[in-house]
Structure 1
Amino acid sequence: MPPATTTTVRRPRGEGQWALGYREPLNKNEENKKNDDGLNVRDRIIQIYSKAGFDSIDPADLRGRFRWYGLYTQRKPGIDGGRTGSLPDEELDDRYFMMRVRIDGGQLDGPQLRTVADIATRYARGTADITDRQNIQYHWIRIEDVPAIWEALEAVGLHTTEACGDTPRVMIGCPLAGIAADEVIDATPQLREVHDRYIGSPEFSNLPRKFKSAFSGCTAHCTVHEINDVAFVGVVNEDGEVGYQVFVGGGLSTNPMFARSLGVFVRPEQAHEVWKGVVSVFRDYGYRRLRHRARLKFLVSDWGVERFRQVLQDEYLGYALPDGPEPAAPLPRRDHVGIHPQNDGKYYVGFAPRVGRVNGELLGVVADLAERYGSGRVRTTAEQKMVILDVPAEHTEALADELARHDLQVRPSTFRRQTMACTGIEFCKLAIVETKQRAMDMVDELEKRLPDFEQPVTINVNGCPNACARIQVADIGLKGQLVVDENGDQVEGFQIHLGGALGRTFGKKVRGLKTTSAGLTDYVERVVRAYDAQRAEGETFAEWVGRADEADLK
């Protein structure tokens, strides 16, 4: 008889979900987090690295745990986009940092804005950008200056804790929360409660990847709930009670998905429990084996919302949530630009910097104007804009004129108002092309060529495929890449996505439709003119793209 054989049964590796028993790290990132919580790096920055300098920083902290406090090394100058994906981090890293300041809900009072402005001037070579998640982002930060920056921020109630990393990042909220004349609910108390309870807590400092939250009762839906991991959106149920619908699993990057409604009704006092439950599901059941599948959207896609809701209720809340209504449709423009009434008889004045690019001096000017014409309160928006609150009616036009003198437009052109750009190759190690200056130059030129165009066409400019500037949900989404020009040379350019619309459809890619950076403005002018000539009354750009001849899109 042949000898007996034994069969080894291999346990499947699964997706690295903690709740299923997969606690051993399956990649370098997970191993790094298991070795030491990212929150612990703060003490080393203060006690060691800021004193001994850049060369003293442990690489595992430098390219990993520093993110838990909003710090990334920025791109070393002079490295072209063709080498972005091929060079090791050590060669891409500059000795300076990008620092991201959390501004949850986009809310700033006068002393906070002045502090943000002063830090930019003193420590960041004047740099300060408004991000599309309401943060302020600095560049040129030295490790030696980080403790002093933290001390200044924390003295006015701001911080950088979990501004980056595999954590609950900044929670976006309507900049008009509590003052908008038409809001469904002021979500500020719920946003603050979640922030105060959970941000900086080890309970959620090791998530599979980043986690993006939004709380809003805004009728414009300015917090873009469709592309957040979790979003609480103000609704009124059939009994006339005000609360929230909850959306889960939104996100863009290289595999975009829209968030899906759980179909529930959450009372305001339940919001922090439900938020904790959703992020706990992500922590325990989220995929940790492969980084590119470690976002909540993949779990929601695989499970479906019915199972997600059931697990949330049964394993984390301990009670069932009632069914709830869906929010009303958003307004055509979500940015709160212009002069509009508040609920107290005063006005807010929203204005558009150039693709979110401001600086310390300019932020100081905004602080001065906010105090002179309003209460000092200022808001950042999720569209890279700013809003000054509490302005008496008789002062609104004077304020608008003062802002315009500093190139901060209250009544901007469509192109100034609707163009967004990520950081780009100037500072970002992932970028392939220049974005900020390219977008600003494009806006200036389009204003000259199409001075009377007023339709709300969005143009989003991204330096790489990761969609920080939301290219897939823009009317014209521009994804940076290297392209071949008419001379056969490889140059900076963009792949073009057309007809994206938040919550409805992602922009489509027309076969072979790319442009060089040099030809970008000509292309945008051409397609915008075609739309303007062919559009029916009330027809949006996205609707036109859906029916237009391909030749008109090229």
Structure 2
Amino acid sequence: MTDGPSQPHTDTVTASPPRTRTRAPQPTGAWADGDRTPLNANEAFKQEDDGLNVRQRIIEEYSRDGFTSITDEDLRGRMRWWGLYTQRKPGIDGGRTAALDPSELDDEYFMLRIRSDGGQLSGEQLRTIAEVSTQFARDTADVTDRQNIQLHWIRVEDVPEIWERLEAVRLMTTEACGDTPRVILGSPVAGIAADEIIDGTPALEAIRDRWIGDPEFSNLPRKFKTAISGHPSLDIAHEANDISFVGVVHPEHGPGFDVWVGGGLSTNPIFAQRLGAWVPLEEVPEVWKGVVSIFRDHGYRRLRNKARLKFLLADWGPERFRRVLEEEYLGRPLVDGPPPAHPADRRRDHVGVHKQKDGRVWVGVAPVAGRVSGTVLGRLADLATEHGSGRVRLTAQQKLLVLDVDPASVDQLVAGLAEIGLSADPSEFRRGVLACTGIEFCKLAIVETKATARRTVEELERRLPGFDAPFTLHVNGCPNSCARFQVADVGLKGIVMSDEQGHDVEGFQVHVGGAIGVDAQLARKTRQLRVTSAELPDYVERLATRYLDQRDEGESFALWARRVPEEELR
């Protein structure tokens, strides 16, 4: 008997599931996780020595022994805690910005940033800044959109004397830069505007006096930006700050502040979000301390480009953030409150002549993109003292206000300001332009900004003298958005590009239709929207003219730019 055909093997073998490697999540570097091992060079030098401690070395060693005696960690790290950045060595083009080692970009001079929290300056303080500028900074001075004044060409040998002069009039450079609580933005018309909801100055001063320069908050994951305003115009760009307190009226509790957290632009623009909480004036410092403490403890310290508060808030959401703030840092719930009302006027800069609540007036003027000089600031101090109380304010739009002016002196003051290049009735282009420092001094920049802004404004004034609508043009020298280019009608990000002949030239990627306030939205951008620096006046003129021809009644440039086909924006 022969064997039959072999039967198929019927035993089943179950394949093992593919092995999936479960990687442990990478540490964020957050102190709240219990491990303070520094995960990058910045965290290492901060842990080795607090940035505030470099002050004594500057006074006792570096100012005596000169630039070459400064250690790398102090030069490109801790000196920022006292408002000092090395400026860009002249002659290095923008195409080499990212290719060179920082030591190759450093000039042996510094930018010095002077804090003026709330933009508040007395005549004596302004005159002191002017004297420092003319004696130690080659007559340079820029008003920033953070309500600071920046000087250039500062030698380390002169820093101790500069500090003595500034501190003698109650000015400081403490934590003007670095991974710290930077200057506190405040309404430039706080305490004087007739339509003010609430004056936030007491809270601003309490925060500054208690915690600026305190080691409790001198080692944050990165910079921390604060803004406080009780003015209905929303004049502090609250959408772009780590924390903002915005004036509102609670239906039961009266005037106070709505809390916004986690805003920031730069290479990852994110608008701040409301926590839905109403805070009375006297509790603002405590809530501020709670929020900055969350950032210190839970903020991401592993990667510098993820170390801002906005990334933590994006992961947590406002509900969890508020819960942690209330339960772990305040020990009590916050009161729910209303959002701010939309302002009737889109403008936030306070330019022009305006009545104060005491019967006097303020006069707001527009330097082109914040560029002034020590000589101009000295003359401004004289005019402010001659025609007012001497008080001057800086705005978050690079503008200047002279306060407490007798109405009978307005014409004389306005004429005097015009003589030094400060117009109280500027064109829309002059009024709406912002520009960062640019390649002239900044080591991160790719293109020139201040002179480009001036040239473009002057050309537009000549070509379109009757242009009659608010128009913002923000000129930025790199992707970091110091001039808030993503929220301008026309925002310009500096790039190196090829011209028609194939040569590398300075240019800009164009962002169009951005806005904050009523129509808050990030601007449109496409790869096709690029323009060389030389062609910029022609390009903006073309856009502005099309807008005038095509706008609907009452339509802003930003709304027009969002609705038209891209071809209209080229």
| TM-score category of the 2 structures, normalised to the smaller one | over 0.9
Aligned match of 1:464: 478
**Once the 2 structures are TM-superposed, how far is the Cα of residue 22 of structure 1 from its aligned partner?**
2.6
- Between the aligned partners of 1:9 and 1:476, the Cα distance in structure 2 is 46
Q: Using the alignment, how far apart are the partners of 1:146 and 1:364 within structure 2? A: 20
Cα separation, 2, equivalents of 1:198 and 1:299: 23
Structure 2 counterparts to residues 90-489 of structure 1, below 5 A: 90-330=103-343, 331-489=345-503
Q: Secondary structure at the match of 1:400?
A: helix
Give the drift of 1:168.
0.1
Whole-angstrom CA distance in 1 between matches of 2:53 and 2:456: 44
Select the structure of larger CA radius of gyration: 2
Residue in 2 that maps onto 1:4: none
- 1:323 shift after superposition: 0.2
| Counterpart in the other structure of 2:559 | 543
Equivalent residue letter for 2:252: D
Q: Distance in 1 between matches of 2:109 and 2:461?
A: 36
Per-residue deviation, residues 176-232 of structure 1 (Å, max 9, x unmatched)? 100001011010000000001100000000000000000110111111111000001
CA–CA separation in structure 2 for the residues paired with 1:380 and 1:476: 23
Tell me the distance in 1 between the aligned counterparts of 2:121 and 2:189. Answer: 12
Letter in 2 for 1:367: A
Structure 2 counterpart of 1:513, one-letter code: L
- Could you say what secondary structure the match of 1:552 adopts? helix
Give the aligned residue type for 1:15: T
SS in 2 for 1:304: helix
SS in 2 for 1:170: strand
Q: Describe the SS at the equivalent of 2:278.
A: coil
Following superposition, the deviation at residue 328 of structure 1 comes to 1.1
User: 2 CA distance for matches of 1:386 and 1:33?
Assistant: 36
Taking the TM superposition and a 5 Å limit, the aligned residue runs for 1:495-506 are 495-502=509-516, 504-506=520-522
Q: Deviations over 1:226-258 (max 9, x none)?
A: 100000111110125111110000000000000
Corresponding residue to 1:493 among 501, 507, 532: 507
Measure how far apart 1:549 and its partner are.
1.9
- CA distance in structure 2 between the partners assigned to 1:295 and 1:542 by the alignment: 28
Per-residue Cα deviation, 1:253-309 (whole angstroms, up to 9, x for no partner): 000000001100101111100000000000000000000000000000110000000
Is 1:28 the counterpart of 2:44? The answer is no
Counterpart CA distance in 2 for 1:511 and 1:543 is 21
Q: Which amino acid aligns with 1:449?
A: R
Distance (Å, rounded) in 1 between the aligned partners of 2:406 and 2:253: 33
Match of 1:13 in 2: 26
For the pair 1:527 / 2:543, whether they are aligned, the reply is yes
Q: State the Cα distance separating 1:436 from its structure 2 match.
A: 0.2
What are the superposed Cα offsets for residues 369-404 of structure 1, whole Å, 9 maximum, x if unpaired?
A: 001110100011111010000011111121111111
Q: CA 1:549/1:142 → structure 2, altered by over 3 Å: closer, same or farther?
A: same
The offset of 1:119, in angstroms, is: 0.3
Hey, what's the Cα distance between the residues in 2 that align with 1:240 and 1:308? 24
SS in 1 for 2:368: coil
Shift of 1:545: 1.1
SS in 1 for 2:104: helix
Query: Which of the numbers 507, 521, 526 marks the counterpart of 2:523?
Result: 507
Aligned AA (1:139): H
Alpha-carbon distance in 2 for matches of 1:13, 1:199: 32
Query: Does the 8 A contact of 2:474 with 2:483 survive in 1?
Result: yes
Asked if residue 552 in structure 1 is aligned to residue 565 in structure 2, the reply is no
Residue 5 (structure 2) aligns with:
none
Which amino acid is 2:549 matched to?
A
Map 1:43-62 → 2, pairs under 5 A: 43-62=56-75
RMSD of equivalent CA atoms: 1.0
Gaps of 5+ in 2: 1-20
Q: What SS is found at the alignment partner of 2:313?
A: helix
The answer (yes or no) to whether the contact 2:133–2:139 under 8 Å persists in 1 is yes
Cα distance between partner residues in 2 of 1:208 and 1:157: 28
CA positional deviation for 1:77: 0.3
Question: What's the secondary structure of 1:298's corresponding residue?
Answer: helix
Question: Shift of residue 512 of structure 1?
Answer: 1.0
Structure 1 residue ranges, 4+ long, deviating more than 4 angstroms after superposition: 8-11
1:86 aligns with 2:102: no
Q: How far did residue 11 of structure 1 move?
A: 5.3
Structure 1: which 5+ runs fail to align?
1-7
Find the residue that maps to 2:29 and give its secondary structure: coil
Distance 1:223 1:550 in 2: 31
How many angstroms does 1:14 deviate by?
Answer: 2.2
Given residue 174 of structure 1, which amino acid in structure 2 is its aligned partner?
Answer: S
Contact 2:487 2:516 in 1 (8 A): yes
Deviation at 1:510, TM superposition (A): 2.9
Structure 1 residue 26, shift from structure 2 partner: 0.4
Q: Does the 8 A contact of 2:88 with 2:107 survive in 1?
A: yes
Distance 1:129 1:175, change over 3 A: same
Q: Sequence identity, in percent?
A: 62
Whether contact under 8 Å (2:134, 2:374) holds in the other structure is: yes
> What is the CA–CA distance in structure 2 between the aligned matches of 1:56 and 1:198, rounded to whole Å?
31
- Looking at structure 2, the residues matched to 51 and 511 of structure 1 have their Cα atoms a distance apart, in angstroms, of 51
Look up the SS of the partner of 1:74 in the other structure. strand
Tell me how far apart the structure 1 counterparts of residues 206 and 146 of structure 2 sit (CA, whole Å): 19
Structure 1 residue matching 2:99: 3-state secondary structure: coil
Deviation for aligned residue 1:20: 1.1
- How far did 1:12 drift? 3.6
3-state SS in 2 of match to 1:505: coil
Say which SS state the counterpart of residue 448 (structure 1) adopts.
Answer: helix
1:10 CA drift (Å): 7.5
Q: Secondary structure at the match of 1:307?
A: helix
For 1:519, give the aligned amino acid.
Answer: E
Q: Equivalents in 2 of 1:522, 1:382: separation in Å?
A: 28
**One-letter identity of the residue aligned with 1:472:** Q
Q: Distance in 2 between matches of 1:268 and 1:235?
A: 11
Partner of 2:14: none
Q: Distance in 2 between matches of 1:9 and 1:429?
A: 41
- Deviations for 1:389-439, whole angstroms, at most 9, x for unmatched residues? 001111112111111111110000000000000000000000000000010
Cα deviations across residues 74-130 of structure 1 (Å, max 9, x unaligned)?
000000001000000111000000000000000011110110100000100000100
Shift of 1:65: 0.2
**TM-score relative to the length of structure 1:** 0.98
